[in-house]
């Protein structure tokens, strides 16, 4: 399996704290994407970082990518209760036309008020 | 904007029954995907389509069939449901970009399917 591994599996923090999630993968990639999934809902795209980028920001999100270590991290700053969700990394490779996304098993984030 | 809409949202089937899951997108996306999500595992690709009239197998295609007769719709069929197909099914769509371009996928809210 080429599935990504996420760490930690679960994370519990207080509002206002920062949350960091890590993702490791095994193969070469074109990009790495992070998605959020609220309970009972579909995945929502958060941020995409290309293989030639090292860091990317979007609002309170900061993503880093280290292709030499085949790893990425997602930092959520000043977390809010509304950030409670599962977060998935997905590595993207475009083969013959379509983009193959390989998802990790996710990190469950609980932000307490 | 509805985005990606999946119907039904929930379904319970008996072993051996058949059913079709419908996915519709209103973003004029070329690519569409069907995934299944099981506890403790990431999403796994069942089938995908790169355009109207074309489909291809993904990572776990056995027991499923698909059709893409219209660009906006992607149907997933279970001909003879088995308990191992109990899962949450997600459809996604993606805009066609340049070769090797990087695009996000847009997901529906899923269909929760139980096979008894």
Closest CA to B28 of B101, B108, B94: B94
Tokens 């371009």 correspond to B101
Q: How confident is the model at residue B103 (pLDDT cuts 50, 70, 90)?
A: confident
Residue A106 has its nearest CB partner, among B42, B104, B105, at: B42
CB A3 within 8 A of CB A102: yes
pLDDT tens per residue, range B48-101: 999 999 999 999 999 999 999 999 999 999 999 999 999 999 999 998 766 556
**Phi, psi of A51, deg, nearest 5:** -65, -20
**Chain B residues near residue A101 by CB distance under 8 angstroms:** 43, 45, 105
**Chain A residues near residue B105 by CB distance under 8 angstroms:** 33, 43, 45, 99, 101
pLDDT tens per residue, range A39-85: 989 999 999 999 999 999 999 999 999 999 999 999 999 999 999 99
Q: What is the pLDDT of residue A97?
A: 67
Q: How confident is the model at residue A2 (pLDDT cuts 50, 70, 90)?
A: very low
A80's tokens: 């809010």
Q: How far apart are CA B49 and CA A110, in angstroms?
A: 36
Answer whether B102 sits within 8 Å of A48, measured CB to CB: yes
* Beta bridge mates, A36: A44, A87
Q: How far apart are CA A3 and CA A89, in angstroms?
A: 10
**Chain B residues near residue A104 by CB distance under 8 angstroms:** 42
A17's tokens: 């704290």
Q: Where are the beta strands (DSSP E) in chain A?
A: 5-7, 10-14, 19-24, 31-37, 43-50, 55-58, 61-66, 71-76, 85-94, 99-103, 107-112
Structure-derived torsion over alpha carbons of residues A66, A67, A70, A76, reported in degrees to the nearest 10: 30
């Amino acid at each position: 399996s080429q599935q990504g591994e996420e760490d930690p599996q679960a994370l519990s923090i207080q509002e206002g704290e920062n949350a960091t999630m890590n993702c490791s993968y095994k193969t070469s990639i074109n990009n790495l994407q992070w998605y959020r999934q609220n309970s009972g809902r579909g995945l929502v795209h958060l941020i995409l970082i290309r293989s030639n980028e090292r860091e990317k920001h979007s609002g309170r999100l900061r993503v880093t990518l280290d292709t030499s270590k085949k790893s990425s991290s997602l930092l959520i700053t000043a977390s809010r209760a509304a950030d409670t969700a599962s977060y998935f990394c997905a590595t993207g490779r475009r083969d013959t036309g379509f983009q193959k996304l390989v998802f990790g098993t996710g990190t469950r984030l609980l932000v307490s008020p | 904007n509805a985005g990606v809409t999946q119907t039904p949202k929930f379904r319970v089937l008996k072993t051996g029954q058949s059913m079709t899951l419908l996915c519709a997108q209103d973003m004029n996306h070329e690519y569409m995907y069907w995934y299944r999500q099981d506890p403790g595992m990431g999403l796994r690709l069942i089938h995908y389509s790169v355009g109207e009239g074309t489909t291809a197998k993904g990572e776990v295609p056995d027991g499923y069939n698909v059709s893409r007769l219209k660009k906006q719709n992607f149907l997933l069929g279970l001909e003879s449901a088995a308990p191992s197909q109990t899962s949450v099914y997600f459809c996604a769509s993606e805009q066609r970009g340049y070769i090797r371009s990087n695009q996000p996928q847009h997901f529906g809210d899923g269909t929760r399917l139980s096979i008894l």
